[in-house]
Amino acid sequence: MADALVPIADNVWIFPTAGVAERVEPNVGVIQTAVGTVLVDAGNSPRHARRIARALEEAGAPPVSHIIYTHHHWDHVYGAQVFSATIVAHELCRELLAERAALPWSATFIEEESRRNPAYEQVYRNMNRAVGDWSGFRICLPTFAFGGQMTLYLDGATLDLEHVGGQHAADSIVVKLREAGIAFLGDCFYPPPMQPAPEPGYDRALLARLLDDTSLHTFIDGHGSRPRTRDEVAAFVASG
């Protein structure tokens, strides 16, 4: 499969999810500005991120200047070391990643963790498959962390970053590109990972609150197969 950026709007693309659950490759947002390229999430591993970097190069995108983490989960963060960029995230995301960054990541460590937390065995297996080679691996901590909300005023893109929290991850934020009315949702309305049955389902109330911002008309979630229109999101909210 050739890796290619999928155009969403002027100067906006996604590096799309593989659509294969075990590969756990989320959609990565790509926003080109005069300052540089902004990534929304960093890929699930250095390997994944190198594929993203290659696609950016082929598209003639400027170097990655900023990475925004939508939340701390590994599949959104573990590729960051491939880029030398300013990383922005919620302060809780930074806290959670600081704990993880201190751990001795290696295939052996992953095996031990799987034994200690059998409920997470599948997560560790996917993580180990994605990263493959742990030598030189490191978790990149955000260089800017915020509570509540913040706005990045880049030349060509105004990005509103808003903390929404929720059941999937307490540090979830939504990234809104003002000029294009696009919202990158990360996984914010998904069920919590590794929740024993009965699964609580999607957080439709959170999505409904996001629809209150009438400037938004395109919604991109972390693992969705394509962007959704405002009407599609509204229909999804109403279907629950």
The least distance separating Zn ion from the CB of residue 73, rounded to whole angstroms, comes to 3
Sign of CA dihedral 232, 207, 68, 140: negative
Report the alpha-carbon distance of residue 101 to residue 167 in Å, rounded: 23
The whole-angstrom distance between residue 37's C-alpha and the CA centroid of its chain comes to 15
Nearer to Zn ion, 25 or 187 (CB): 187
The least distance separating Zn ion from the CB of residue 71, rounded to whole angstroms, comes to 6
The least distance separating Zn ion from the CB of residue 222, rounded to whole angstroms, comes to 6
Taking alpha carbons only, the member of 34, 138, 130 closest to residue 83 is: 138
Nearer to Zn ion, 66 or 71 (CB): 71
In the complex, the residues that contact Zn ion under the rule CB under 5 A are 73, 187
Nearer to Zn ion, 66 or 72 (CB): 72
The least distance separating Zn ion from the CB of residue 187, rounded to whole angstroms, comes to 4
Contacts of 191 (CB under 8 A, 6+ apart): 167, 168, 199, 200, 201, 202
Nearer to Zn ion, 73 or 163 (CB): 73
Nearer to Zn ion, 55 or 77 (CB): 77
Report the alpha-carbon distance of residue 182 to residue 137 in Å, rounded: 32
The least distance separating Zn ion from the CB of residue 7, rounded to whole angstroms, comes to 25
